[in-house]
Amino acid sequence: MKSVYNYINTPLVISMLLFFNSIAFSQSFWTKINSPVNVNLRNCVFTDSLNGWASGDDGVIIHTSDGGNTFVIQNSTIPFYINDIFFLNSRLGWVVANEFVFSGTTILTTTNGGLLWTSELFSDTTLFFKTIYFRDSLNGYMAGISGSFYKTSDAGNSWIASIVDSSEFSTFPVNKIIFTSEMNGFACGGYIDVAGIIWRTIDGGINWTAGAYSPEPFYDLYVKDINNIFSVGGDFEYGVQISRTSNSGNNWIYESLKMFGQAESIDFRTPGEAWMALGFASSWAVSQDSGNTWKSIPVVDGLVIHSVAFADSLHGLAVGNDGAILKYNPEKVSINQNQGSTSPGHFKLEQNYPNPFNPVTDINYVIPSNVKDQKSNVKLTIYNSLGIEINKLVNEYQNPGSYKVKFDAGDLPSGVYFYELKILSGRNGEKLFSETKKMLLVK
């Protein structure tokens, strides 16, 4: 009798095992949430661990106030396509929407988290804006088709055209804007089968210069820190692409990931773990090594996902076609000691409260009783959005127990800040725990 093994296509079996393992990986990390809408959702944002928004076709805006468990529909006041949504904090938000290509751009504004949206048609109805971004409550930027950039310094009451260089790429469509500091900003876009373009400003958005950095358009940008920035995109024919800089945009390195799909959105859950939504491919590109290498895994139920956003390592949101909403499932997070994680019920760093705050907030953490050394070397550090250390709240040896630390940001400007808890062994300096969370100061 022939062995059963002789009838098995070994490479096929291995491929099937990898495929089903990837499905299990995908489904364990993301949970499908009941959606109040069935239209395509194009963009999503998180401002803190509780508040998030998504927008899309037919003027739809939905909001969660419980970390993505449930969503309610907000009255956007418009019935047509929303290109982009941006929230600076849980109160201040903006939207750009377009009914037709030549009918101008409608700007929506809210000052109360979307309970009330006000709309205004941009004065020049020949302009079609695709993206909006605010650096703070006063300074904002819009860009879109024909490479048009506009800047406001009065919260959107008036907009002034920026100066864009006269290169052959400067009139390409712009898909996303982001700033790394008051003066330094980047934008991305391009044309399919022509070029992917990255624009840069070094004077706060007054002037922009454009350069081609890929053969296909870019759709999203992510700032890891002031030096490391990612621009992602691709197309149906050539697949997913990424360009990255490690020197604040002075040089960009292009890479084709040879994955089916196009990267429409990118965000990092932790400093090491990144997710890209690949749109029509119904798959994710996932990195576990800070974006150096990527693997493709399928999306739950074959959903088409356009946008992904993380508030912190435990709260993530993704949206897509037919009202699809996915919530990150932190209970399924695998433990990786190399990334400084530890299992639930042991070391614990809680989300600061209140968050957002002005100007005082509490940070709680737990050192378990079963640590190897009864005293641990504890460091609790505050960083600004550029990754610069601004305060070390705790730097001492502590016994097991629960701790509450008060952080007073009275002398700091409004914005996003990060706090990192790092716990080392009191005996040999071995890292026992490390976690970083995001908080928002609103004055």
What percent of the chain stands above pLDDT 70? Answer: 89
Burial class (CB in 10 A: 0-12, 13-18, 19+), 423: buried
Number of residues that make up the chain:
443
Tokens of 28: 């364990």
Whether residue 79 has pLDDT greater than 60? yes
What does the domain layout of the chain look like in residue ranges? 10-332, 337-441
Higher pLDDT, 7 or 348: 348
| pLDDT value for 345 | 45
Whether residue 346 has pLDDT greater than 80? no
Lowest mean pLDDT among 185-189, 269-273, 331-335: 331-335
Taking residues 76-96, what's their average pLDDT? Answer: 96
| pLDDT value for 17 | 35
Write the pLDDT tens digit of every residue in 235-281. 988 899 999 999 999 999 999 999 999 999 999 998 889 999 999 99
| pLDDT value for 329 | 82
Compute the distance between CA of residue 407 and CA of residue 441 in angstroms, rounded to an integer: 11
**Rounded to a whole number, what is the distance in angstroms from the first to the last CA of the chain?**
80
| pLDDT value for 101 | 67
| pLDDT value for 106 | 97
Report the CATH number of the 10-332 domain.
Answer: 2.130.10.10
Tokens of 306: 């356009």
Compute the distance between CA of residue 350 and CA of residue 51 in angstroms, rounded to an integer: 17
Band (372; pLDDT cuts 50, 70, 90): low
| pLDDT value for 46 | 94
Higher pLDDT, 206 or 441: 206
Compute the distance between CA of residue 111 and CA of residue 217 in angstroms, rounded to an integer: 33
Compute the distance between CA of residue 127 and CA of residue 148 in angstroms, rounded to an integer: 8
Q: What average pLDDT does the structure give for the chain? A: 87
Residue with tokens 């907030």: 361
The residue type of 154 is D
Whether residue 337 has pLDDT greater than 70? no
Report the CATH number of the 337-441 domain.
Answer: 2.60.40.2550
Whether residue 10 has pLDDT greater than 80? no
CA 218 to chain centre: 15
Band (421; pLDDT cuts 50, 70, 90): very high
Compute the distance between CA of residue 165 and CA of residue 100 in angstroms, rounded to an integer: 28
Band (371; pLDDT cuts 50, 70, 90): low
Q: Note whether 10-332 and 337-441 share their fold.
A: no
Whether residue 408 has pLDDT greater than 60? yes
Compute the distance between CA of residue 68 and CA of residue 188 in angstroms, rounded to an integer: 28
- Answer for the pair 439, 419: CB distance below 8 angstroms, yes or no: yes
- Answer for the pair 408, 401: CB distance below 8 angstroms, yes or no: no
Band (340; pLDDT cuts 50, 70, 90): very low
Band (428; pLDDT cuts 50, 70, 90): confident
Write the pLDDT tens digit of every residue in 136-172. 999 999 999 989 999 999 999 999 999 999 988 989 9
Compute the distance between CA of residue 86 and CA of residue 133 in angstroms, rounded to an integer: 6
Tokens of 249: 């945009």
Write the pLDDT tens digit of every residue in 90-116. 999 999 999 876 789 999 999 999 999
